[in-house]
Chains A and B, each alone.
Chain A
């Protein structure tokens, strides 16, 4: 679909939802390639929702965190809603300690719950912190 080297991260399409999962080996370069590829796919498929499963990630550095925020903003501009699912407790603690709040990024406990939230085009459960 594009000439860029692939990030090696599979992006699956299910209806109007894109599903992807990040593995631990994500370095800065492939993170950038992934952003690029996902953005292209969103615009070419007209997807309405994107689910990124990060339950395999044991570490998120500030670069990947910024990539997730960036991706969410980009996807929103393209009309898609991004849900990051399955963050592990140690990862969450590390991010909070680094002062990274991933503001604006929607999260879900598991891929299943993330899909439920995406599949039903209803407002997500009222989140006091995400009134936008």
Chain B
């Protein structure tokens, strides 16, 4: 009996509080938005890129969306996810800060700062402590979830940026250049991992097919270290080039790397290697000249 009683009261208080908060939001929309912007400015909770007018727009939209979302009867705890407008606005707000370089703390605090503003306005609207408490609980439920959502979106946004950058890096760092007639070269810079080997292989094989190249030179001057994994990846690339019907020369093996390879007992004896790119090019030209029995000298 007591439990059902409390349930009923908490329900009714809940809906009453909900109506009250909505009413406060609607009545003081401009004031709340202004105060929120002011708070963010005061606390220096800003990414460098956001201007004050942008903040105002953001604030107006958020306050309106909150009021509209509270008007419905979806559960408060899930509003930040279930209400489409609210969800979009919080997401945008978070993404904008993520791109602008604001920290995750700043981003979620920006959303949570709205709590303080709402509570200030509520205190003006009612003196009844029960009502105030219920409304405060409701605001907390609503904005905590919104804060969590903003954090989540922020991390996702950052991850997307990181993903894009590493993709660009991958593309940038593996150009295939044509050095001579039927001779291609790939200057490798940085560590060779599986993903990069894949990209190098794809680019190189495609270029071999397009240019009908007979020799591919892989220059590893820019590869800091060669361990068994890297050597394995190199061997794979060389094998793939051979399967295509072209030859492969590896150049730019620096003395320390040569020593490492010898010490690790990696067998590169099946691969043609040269110390410098120049030597490799000379060897490659010799290879392309060799099968030119039809009278042309390969130039």
A84 CB contacts on chain B under 8 angstroms: 245
A114 CB contacts on chain B under 8 angstroms: 245
Chain B interface mostly = helix
Is A96 interfacial (CB-CB < 8 Å)? yes
Give the distance in Å from the alpha carbon of A122 to the alpha carbon of B138 in the complex: 87
- Interface segment, one of B3-11, B13-21, B144-152, B234-242: B234-242
Q: Are B205 and A89 in contact (CB under 8 A)?
A: yes
CB-defined interface of A121-132 with B at 8 Å, one 1/0 digit per residue? Answer: 010111111000
B271 to chain A, nearest CB (A): 6
- Which of A93, A113, A125 is the one whose CB lies under 8 Å from B201? A93
Is B191 interfacial (CB-CB < 8 Å)? no
Q: Classify chain B: how many residues form its interface, as a range.
A: 20 to 34
Find residues 73-132 in chain A having any chain B CB closer than 8 Å to their own CB. Answer: 84-89, 91-93, 95-97, 101-102, 107-110, 113-114, 116-117, 120, 122, 124-129
Is B219 interfacial (CB-CB < 8 Å)? no
Q: Are B205 and A92 in contact (CB under 8 A)?
A: yes
Give the distance in Å from the alpha carbon of A114 to the alpha carbon of B294 in the complex: 14
Asked, given contacts A85-B245, A120-B293, whether A96 binds B236 with beta carbons under 8 Å apart, the answer is yes
Chain A interface mostly = mixed
Is B244 interfacial (CB-CB < 8 Å)? yes
B33 to chain A, nearest CB (A): 56
Asked, given contacts A85-B245, A89-B202, A109-B246, whether A116 binds B291 with beta carbons under 8 Å apart, the answer is yes
Is B228 interfacial (CB-CB < 8 Å)? no
By a beta-carbon cutoff of 8 Å, the part of chain A in contact with chain B is: 84-89, 91-93, 95-97, 101-102, 107-110, 113-114, 116-117, 120, 122, 124-129
Q: List 19 A-B contacts (CB under 8 A).
A: A84-B245, A87-B245, A89-B209, A92-B240, A93-B202, A95-B240, A96-B201, A96-B236, A96-B243, A97-B236, A102-B243, A107-B244, A109-B208, A109-B212, A113-B212, A116-B291, A120-B291, A127-B247, A129-B270
What 5 A-B pairs are tightest by C-beta distance, nearest first? A89-B205, A107-B245, A108-B245, A128-B272, A92-B243
